Amino acid sequence: MSFLLDGRRIEAAWWGPGPEEAPTLVLLHEGLGCVALWRDFPARLQGATGFGVVAYSRFGYGGSDTTPVPRPLDYMQVEAREVLGRVLDALGVRHAVLVGHSDGASIALIYAGSFQDRRVRGIALLAPHVMVEPFCTEEIARARDRYRGGDLRARLARYHRDVDAAFLGWNGAWLDPGFPEALELQPEIAHVRVPILVVQGEADPYGTLEHLRIIELEAYCPVDSLLLPGVGHAPQLEAPEAVLEAVAGFSDRILRLHEAVAG
């Protein structure tokens, strides 16, 4: 499945009922992710909820058309404010929860904090970034070394049509000295007006529990949280049962509540 946006092709996949039949869970992938790298999580999430689930690869990722590098340091804000809403339009989404992982979680948070889009009833954030921690950039620098001298490029090339655009766009932005200033999301958090779920692994090499603390401190709306001991940066793959239960329960509660109010 694919669709066009501004004459460029975006790769997508859909599981379960369409938006005219049921609410939709919209999956937003991580900084090196794509449709395929969600693995079996979308199908399992669809089975757990009965809702439709859709995932798409952002420009420069997976089978989508490429995008120039270097990327702007505010690439997540650009994606949230200039692209995501039009993706929801193109997909025909009517009632949704945004389910984002890593960069995708930050994009979901920025979108919900920038627009009061009545289609979006909640946001589920898996390992979100709301600021930059020094040890995180150290890990990203090590990833650059593995890309240059190890097998990381070959492994990523299985999933990305333009692997250099995918990796260098992400890696170059994160390692730019100006990036920490670009990724300070407290203002966006304070403007979110829908419920939030945060899932955080306590062994995440890219972020500490400080991200959750900031969200809980700054958010106006209710925040549910799930902390997973021993889990790293991909909780949906490392602890799938716990994450499925949390995301399914959160989504069902939020979407059924709105359905009841509307009825």
- The per-residue pLDDT for 146 is 95
Percent of the chain having pLDDT more than 90? 95
Phi and psi (nearest 5°) for 157? Answer: -65, -20
Q: How do residues 154-168 score in pLDDT, each as one tens digit?
A: 999 999 999 999 999
Helices (H), 115-162: 134-149, 152-157
- The per-residue pLDDT for 207 is 92
Range of the domain at 234: 2-262
Low-confidence ranges of the chain (pLDDT < 50): 260-263
Strands (E), 211-258: 223-228
**What's the farthest any 2 CA atoms get from each other in the chain?**
58
How far is C-alpha 233 from the geometric centre of its chain's CA atoms? Answer: 12
CB contact at 8 A, 113 and 185: yes
Output the domain CATH number for residue 17: 3.40.50.1820
103: which 2 tokens? Answer: 């960069």
215: which 2 tokens? Answer: 């969200």
- Rounded Cα–Cα distance for residues 252 and 27 (Å): 16
- The per-residue pLDDT for 256 is 77
- The per-residue pLDDT for 14 is 98
Nearest to 87 by CA among 17, 153, 156, 1: 1
What total of structural domains would you count in the chain? 1
DSSP assignment letter at 92: T
Q: Strand 52-56 relative to strand 24-28: parallel, antiparallel, unpaired? A: parallel
